[in-house]
């Protein structure tokens, strides 16, 4: 690939707007049914003390493996689920304790795009009505105004207005995800939390939807929280990335820094496990990455290890890691790592 073919992303051009969303020490615990008499208060710590800031116009990626709490965190951020502890501020306002009535005028500003468009679209309703629903809920205007807005939204996400009357099953997977995106955009949100929005799509369709996300951000000035397990996808869309493990953020850094030199051993292992396509272009430029194969499995979040959550699988774990839980700490270069012995930068 030659340089002029690429509209390369400028790593310095990171949006620096004001803080739109601030999560402080967010926790979400699910009580489990008692098993026997001895352990009555078993608790699943899905999200365990997460702090995160999202600035206007930027895309923050949240990456991690299944069960790490990234989807639960996403739902906490837009308060689709009640927090167990901590607070979430949206546009300077604490939304974590607001009543449903007070939350209602704030809701249009923050919307969610779901993973599986098949499951998140009502199969018995027409595509046009699905997109119109949030407009009706938030009293957008009269029937004609709603119709005009729905047609406009179809246009924005690249759907034909000839298909307004169709049902979800009459669309392909990629088109269904476009309906989900149109619905999320209906109320003109400032923040869109997208939870695995492309992982159910065919590879060739995935690229089309990712391009749509990029175009919409540019045209509408959207702020994204983009949750995904695919490390290539997250790298492509994000300005900054939070890596989660067992309900915690273990590393938070700019995309280039994170992929260039991961500071947390888990980030390093995660990146090294991705089978990269060897197309002959990398061998002469970058050295072959050392593969670190983790042994064992992610611990059960009900029986969280003492100290560092990753120490049971960490190749560098020492005695201190079992005793003290490392807090997320800002390093000299501005990235945040939760590790007693972060890797050299």
**Binding flag, residue 156, another protein (CB under 8 A):** no
| Interface positions, 2-21, toward another protein (CB under 8 A) | 2, 5-9
- Residue 183 tokens read as 């619905």
- The residues pairing with 35 across neighbouring beta strands, listed in sequence order, are 39
Of positions 129, 158, 163, 341, contacts another protein by CB under 8 A: 158
**Binding flag, residue 205, another protein (CB under 8 A):** yes
**DSSP string for 87-125:** EEEETTEE-TT--HHHHTTTGGGEEEE-S-HHHHS-TTS
**Binding flag, residue 236, another protein (CB under 8 A):** yes
**Binding flag, residue 172, another protein (CB under 8 A):** yes
Q: How far is the CB of 281 from another protein (least distance, A)?
A: 7
CA atoms within 13 A of residue 13's CA, in its CB half-sphere: 3
| Interface positions, 324-343, toward another protein (CB under 8 A) | none
Of positions 277, 290, 319, 344, contacts another protein by CB under 8 A: 277
Distance (Å, whole) CA 335 – CA 317: 21
Contact by Cβ (8 Å): 224, 213: yes
Residue 145 in 3-state DSSP? helix
Distance (Å, whole) CA 338 – CA 250: 5
Q: Which is nearer to another protein, 58 or 110 (CB)?
A: 58
**Binding flag, residue 119, another protein (CB under 8 A):** no
Distance (Å, whole) CA 20 – CA 286: 37
Q: How far is the CB of 91 from another protein (least distance, A)?
A: 28
**Binding flag, residue 38, another protein (CB under 8 A):** no
Q: How far is the CB of 20 from another protein (least distance, A)?
A: 22
**Binding flag, residue 276, another protein (CB under 8 A):** yes
Distance (Å, whole) CA 109 – CA 100: 15
What distance lies between CA 340 and its chain's CA centroid?
A: 26
- Residue 109 tokens read as 């500003």
**Binding flag, residue 316, another protein (CB under 8 A):** no
By CB under 8 A, name the binding residues for another protein: 1-2, 5-9, 65-66, 158, 172, 174, 202-208, 210-212, 214-215, 229-233, 235-236, 255, 259, 269-271, 273-282, 285-286, 289, 291, 293-294, 296-298
């Amino acid at each position: 690939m030659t340089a002029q073919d690429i509209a390369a992303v400028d790593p310095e051009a990171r949006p620096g707007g004001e803080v739109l969303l601030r999560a402080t020490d967010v926790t979400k615990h699910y009580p489990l049914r008692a098993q026997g008499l001895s352990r009555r208060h078993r608790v699943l710590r899905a999200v365990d003390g997460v702090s995160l800031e999202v600035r206007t116009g930027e895309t923050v990626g949240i990456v991690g493996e299944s069960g790490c709490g990234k989807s639960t965190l996403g739902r906490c951020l837009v308060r689709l689920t009640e927090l167990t502890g901590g607070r979430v501020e949206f546009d300077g306002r604490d939304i974590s304790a607001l009543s449903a009535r007070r939350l209602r005028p704030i809701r249009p500003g923050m919307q969610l795009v779901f993973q599986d468009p098949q499951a998140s679209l009502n199969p018995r309703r027409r595509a046009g009505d699905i997109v119109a629903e949030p407009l009706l809920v938030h009293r957008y205007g009269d029937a004609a105004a709603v119709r005009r807005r729905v047609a406009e939204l179809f246009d924005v996400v690249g759907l034909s207005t000839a298909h307004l009357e169709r049902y979800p099953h009459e669309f392909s997977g990629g088109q269904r995800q476009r309906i989900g995106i149109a619905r999320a955009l209906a109320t003109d949100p400032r923040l869109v939390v997208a939870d695995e929005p492309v992982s159910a799509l065919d590879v060739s369709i995935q690229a089309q939807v990712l391009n749509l996300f990029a175009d919409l951000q540019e045209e509408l000035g959207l702020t994204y929280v983009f949750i995904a397990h695919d490390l290539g996808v997250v790298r492509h869309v994000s300005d900054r990335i939070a890596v989660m493990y067992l309900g915690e953020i273990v590393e938070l850094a700019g995309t280039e820094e994170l992929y260039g030199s991961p500071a947390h051993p888990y980030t390093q292992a995660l990146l090294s496990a991705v089978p990269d396509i060897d197309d002959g272009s990398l061998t002469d430029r970058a050295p072959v990455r050392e593969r670190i194969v983790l042994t064992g499995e992610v611990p059960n979040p009900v029986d969280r290890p003492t100290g560092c959550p990753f120490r049971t699988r960490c190749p560098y774990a020492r005695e201190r890691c079992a005793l003290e839980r490392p807090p997320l700490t800002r390093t000299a270069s501005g990235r945040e790592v939760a590790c007693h012995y972060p890797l050299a930068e």
